[in-house]
Amino acid sequence: MRVSIYNDGDNSIRVTADRKAANETMIDPGEEVVVEAEGVVHLLEIDGGNIEKSVEDDNHDEDLEP
């Protein structure tokens, strides 16, 4: 799949395609990128360490393939 993502927010977004760390991209506010993935696109807003973590967010870095 090919996805166009536009960051309309105030903070950067980390995009990971197909759970692979090698497929990570940072999108700054006002920036748009096209991401190619086989099935999963994960978005995480980066706000300078003030992220409110939920239970679903815990340990997802362990799911990433090198």
Predicted local confidence at residue 6, as pLDDT: 97
pLDDT of residue 54: 47
Question: What local confidence, expressed as pLDDT, does residue 49 receive?
Answer: 54
Distance between CA atoms of residues 38 and 20, nearest Å: 11
Domain boundaries of the chain, sorted by first residue: 2-49
Cβ distance 26 to 12 under 8 Å? Answer: yes
Question: How much is the pTM?
Answer: 0.67
Q: What is the pLDDT of residues 27-56, one digit of tens each?
A: 999 999 999 999 999 999 998 655 555 445
12-17 β-sheet, strand order: 24-27, 12-17, 41-46
